[in-house]
Structure 1
Amino acid sequence: MPRRVEDFRGLTRLSRLRLLHAVHRVPGRRLAELAEEVGLHLNTAREHLAILEAEGLVNSLTLVTGVRGRPPVAFHPVTDLAENQAARKRAEGARERGALLRRLAPELDRGGELGGAALEQLDALYEHLEDIGLEPRPDASQLNVDVTPCRYAFAIETERALVCSVHIQLLKHQLQQVPGPVRVRSVKPFVTPTRCEIALEVRADAASAA
């Protein structure tokens, strides 16, 4: 699939991966705390976080302290589409493109088995994986997905735990952002040197609620 001009830049720098990992690890921390943890200058960390927010990966919240001067800002992962316009736009686009694909190729439509809400979650998840260069290949059930992590080869040798942690959290957040019953059951990183496996599940209690 041709890559779109708004595909993620935020995950192509190791320093941004470290910042995103820090936000995932302890949500709600301020700029100075995050910059100190990852060893970045305040202005550099601010610029990186602005890119991550513009791409729908983090959300900033201005804190009211009653103290004069620039108010502090806390950073959180995006788990609700109402929190971030870029994340909302991506999910809406994924839903539209997924519906179009199923109209063109009805054999790919698993709505009768999984339900409409699950399909919208999967549309958002697959598009997220494509956007970050992981080339998702779902099986016939669409609940087991192989991905190729070649885009992050620059960091795998020295920062494998960091890269895997960030991407597993992003998988979970993508599914949280779109209401539905699909959850991550397991992730097996590097079952081969160039392939990871994602196993999803449809939770009966969540399906009933949806």
Structure 2
Amino acid sequence: MSEQTLHDPTDPPTVGESRAHVLDVLRATPEAVGVREIAEQTGLHSNTARFHLDTLVKDGLAERSTEGRGRPGRPRTVYRAAASSSQVPAGRRSYQLLAQMLTGLVTEALPQPGQAAVNAGEAWGRYLADTPSPTQRIDTEEAIRRLTQVLADVGFAPGAVQDQPDPVIPLRHCPFREIAEEHRDVVCSLHLGLMRGALKEVRAPLGVDRLEPFVEPSLCLAHLTPAEQHRADRTA
């Protein structure tokens, strides 16, 4: 087994645009702040802001604590930027190895690992999507915008939508590429479910028909279709 498989790269963690914005807000705020404040200052959905904050904590770029009990109500979880990288415990990280082990476990232990991954992905897609108000009607353009925002927030690099004749979203970066190459059924199914869940949460007039992985070494294609056709195809 290669050294790269056993340990994650030792380079500083890559911070995407939305996560970098969250980190900038933390660094500019002298006191620890909660998820709601970060969401308000960045314009992100609260669940997306929490996702980025917890990832920054995992990467050693932020610190998480529970607010003191001097205030009424349930104590809040609050965040602040890490004072310096020297406060991050030394030692290698092995999340890539952990991901390999867990996806292997899913593949071995579940009778239908691909469908289980789709279901889990849908739950996370609903969680990360920016839910519209009950009276707001989401058209195709807005639905695609919200979906690409979710994809960008979790580390994909969605490109401009192609029409041929149904919309196709090119994904030019897979944040789990190394794991997906070995466990495509689980990881790509998870991503398919993520997109389906996000579109369902925003009550989109379209769904994700299929995900075409690795049509090029760094390119996957998400094929969208009108929601009525998508439901009919899945129940046929």
Q: TM-score w.r.t. structure 1 length?
A: 0.48
Larger Rg: 2
Q: TM-score w.r.t. structure 2 length?
A: 0.43
